[in-house]
Chains A and B, each alone.
Chain A
Amino acid sequence: MICDILVIGAGPAGLTAALHAASAGAKTAILAKGIGTTHWAAGWVDILGYWPPGSPQPVRDPRAAVGALASALPGHPYARAGLRALDEALLAFQRAATAEGIPYAGSLDRNLLATTPSGSRRPTCLVPHAMLEGTRVAAGRTLIVGIGGLRDFYGAYIAANLRAQGCEADRAIVEVPAIRARNPQTTATLAAMLEDRPVRDELIRAVIPVARGFDRIGFPAVLGMNRHREVVDEVGKALGSAVFEIPTLPPSVPGIRLFEALRRRLAALGVRVIIGSEVVQRFAEGNRLLGIGSEAAARTQRQTAGAFILATGGILGGGIVAGADGAVREAALGLPVHAPVARGAWFSPQALAHQGHPIFQSGVLVNERMQPVGPRGDVAFRNVYAAGAVLAGADEWREKSHEGVALATGYRAAQAATERTRPAAQADAEASR
């Protein structure tokens, strides 16, 4: 495969980078080892939930807080990408998601407090429309509905925790024979089942008697997969009250919807997405990366591109790996890695320490053009850019900045990469005209 820009990784950073590279006219492809963190995460767009580190108070104004963070931590990915990239990436994301039928609510000026599967209220910036009502549980009466047969969704726990925070909340478990009969193994199966009208009607009939007197009904996030909006609208109309979704344990249906929406968008832009190929080799000449070799049946498949965007994820996503010998490596291209501490101090003694565990800040250092650099600031490859959790300096799950870092750095990396490849892309476009 030969393209202008090859994005490695199909999580939020890779998808964002590919979207912007292709929109800028570059012939773009994505290569990924597997499917990424969209399917593990809630489907929200976190920008910055807690700042400064260890603060027990959620951030109210993420725009201001990101600005403060960028001045305090010049090595943080937000500082590298810049606030403007974040702003533009967020707007582009909202446009793309709306166009693909899953509009997101919220803005960079104010965090929302979304209801989590443990009943906490967690700061996040954008939520899918179907989760917006779950940010309003402080007022009025909320009913949390569990569905008999669906494992790993604990309505009583959610309601009790909401009550402990002063919200008026109760719970009910409804029995839906069609669902019991199928004993769905995952939330994704259940979401697909609820697109069948008879199953949906059975659910509605079971909820009507318990829903009386509540201002809003919270369901596990299984209200439809491809026809999500239709399912939410119908359930809301039939119950006569506001309806919202609460994220579940993986696989995350809102995350799958988001991934598939962005994949449709990319397909429309002509981006080839190859899932199931791991990068195992690099071909370089001086400080230019010529190509990579991806693992394929019985061979290494060579992929050549003008520029590469590394978006392989951090420790969780497998982009950064830590060995028993204490060495921390970047998995795909073997780029220099910044690991802030020696092995003995990887972890804080407390599992849920407010300051987080230092190992999670490991990653690749980049300059303002998102080019990976060594400890002395020297560029590793002049046509390689990095984005997302593979970058050093953020503790995204602790800060609640995972999608924000992905969007801002993915956008910035694509911008820098297309500036490099633009002459070639333009020549191609002119030739085909």
Chain B
Amino acid sequence: MTDVELSLDACIKCNICVSYCPPAKVTDLFPGPKYAGPQAQRFRSPRGPSPDASVDYCSGCRVCNLVCPAGVRIAELNAKARARMYRDRGGVPLRNRLLGRSELLGRLAHPVAPLANYLLHNPISRWLADAWLGIDRRAPLPRFSLHTFPGPVRSKWSPASNPRRRVVYFHGCATRYYEPWIGRAAVAVLERNGMEVVIPPQNCCSLPMLSNGEFDAARRYYDGNLRTLAPLAEAGCEIVGTSTSCTLTLKEEAPDLLEADSDAGRLVAASTSDICEYLVRLHEAGALDTAFRPLELSVLYHAPCQLNAHRVGHPAADLMRLIPGLTVIESEHPCCGIAGTYGLKKEKYAIGMAVGQPLFDRVQQSGARLSVCDSETCRWQIVHGTGLPSVHPIEILAWSYGLGEPLAIRKG
């Protein structure tokens, strides 16, 4: 047994996780982390069938792990049980396979982005996807961008440069195919701080497959990333990402869930940071350019569940508080409900929206013009739930450095 499985013995059945579980608060279809996790785990044997189907209603937000006073790895137990359940049933449903393939979809659709967006977003195809696939017709799906990030790959660096000033940027599928402006903002902010930014070819981080129960496919994508990232980490480069769920996957989710313990994996994990976490470290070392121009506005910052799962505090909020004039209100809410692809699914859309409702109310009542969040799917969900624009914290930093206004604001 792995550490994840052994941790169930630490459960003292206090129910704190159940009282904080976002889905369990709003639906009876998920009995709660204690029941689906450490309790059901006692009945899961390597030979017998999976004992319950309710574990599929775990959103994987990891709030249970954080509040647990005993250190039980509940979310990981649930993710592994879900993958096991699909294996018992003879495979992962087509819908989950599609939702797990953000990279493949992006690669196919971006050259014909206007057409793909039309095909994907018109009411008839949304109705069909709802009826045939089980992707809710109301769910917030992103739009493909005709221009991908980074354009030509910048995988080379000047051998003369100092490896400590060299940083590898892991952009993830969302920046590559849907929101290339976030990648441009990230590169601009890093370069402003004197970094040489290396952007190697990269795969999907594998999280969408992990959370949709497709562990074998996830392993291939994860291994592909290790092949390109490990040599760079070996050369002393730090790896930063603007998608907080991608960086969490490289750090912890993929190696833990896939039980993939390797030197390369450990090295990549230890070298990877969320971009704001990295910039806060620069700041603590006195190396961050703090010549921020004032931004006279107030924003609502939502720390997504995947960022909280890094256990590094709220670095984006710390950075934004360095900007003169900017008022940062924190959401104090654990989850927006989308949890990656959870809230897109027909049977879970209403659960996701109910989980997010108090957050949407908070955003709207805060008086802020826009919300800020480190995770792309969460931003799409918050926009869907509030009608207000939502941006990545790196866009706010770039703006304050005078490196361009966030697109959402220029449009709005």
Contact = CB atoms under 8 A, between A and B. Distances in A.
A275 B305 CA distance: 12
Contacts of A301: 311-313
B68 A34 contact: yes
A274 B14 contact: no
A251 B18 contact: yes
Given A297-B251, A298-B251, A298-B252, A186 B19 contact: yes
B35 A185 contact: yes
B70 A251 contact: no
Interface in A290-307: 294-299, 301
A271 B404 CA distance: 32
Contacts of B67: 34-35, 275-276
B23 to A, nearest CB: 12
B229 to A, nearest CB: 13
Contacts of A189: 18-19, 24-25
Interface in A229-285: 250-251, 256, 267, 272, 274-278
B19 A276 contact: no
A276 B314 CA distance: 13
Interface string B348-368: 000000000000000000000
Interface residues of B, number: 36
B332 interface: yes
Contact of A182 (B18, B28, B68): B28
Q: Which of A1, A34, A256, A275 has the most CB of B within 10 A?
A: A34
A33 B69 contact: yes
A86 to B, nearest CB: 26
Contacts of B31: 185
Interface in B11-35: 14-16, 18-20, 24-25, 28, 31-32, 35
Given A185-B31, A274-B313, A277-B311, A34 B18 contact: no
B270 A298 contact: yes
Interface in B299-329: 308-314, 318
Contact of A267 (B269, B318, B332): B332
A165 interface: no
A39 B311 contact: no
B251 A278 contact: no
A1 B19 contact: no
B71 interface: yes
A2 B330 CA distance: 19
A318 B14 CA distance: 14
Contacts of A185: 18, 24, 28, 31-32, 35
B25 A192 contact: yes
Contacts of A52: none
B243 interface: no
B71 A34 contact: yes
A252 to B, nearest CB: 9
Contact of A256 (B19, B251, B312, B330): B19
Contact of B311 (A188, A251, A297): A297
B272 interface: yes
Contacts of B330: 267
Q: Which of A39, A184, A267, A297 has the most CB of B within 10 A?
A: A297
A148 interface: no
A251 B14 contact: yes
B296 interface: no
Interface in A164-209: 182-189, 192
The 6 closest A-B pairs by CB, nearest first: A276-B66, A34-B69, A188-B19, A298-B251, A298-B269, A296-B311
Given A36-B69, A40-B14, A186-B18, 20 more contacts: A1-B313, A34-B69, A35-B67, A35-B69, A182-B28, A184-B28, A185-B18, A185-B24, A186-B15, A189-B25, A250-B14, A251-B15, A267-B330, A276-B308, A296-B310, A297-B251, A298-B269, A299-B251, A299-B270, A301-B311
Interface of A: 1-2, 33-36, 39-40, 182-189, 192, 250-251, 256, 267, 272, 274-278, 294-299, 301, 317-318
12 contacts: A39-B14, A39-B16, A189-B25, A251-B15, A272-B314, A274-B311, A276-B308, A276-B311, A278-B71, A297-B251, A298-B272, A301-B312
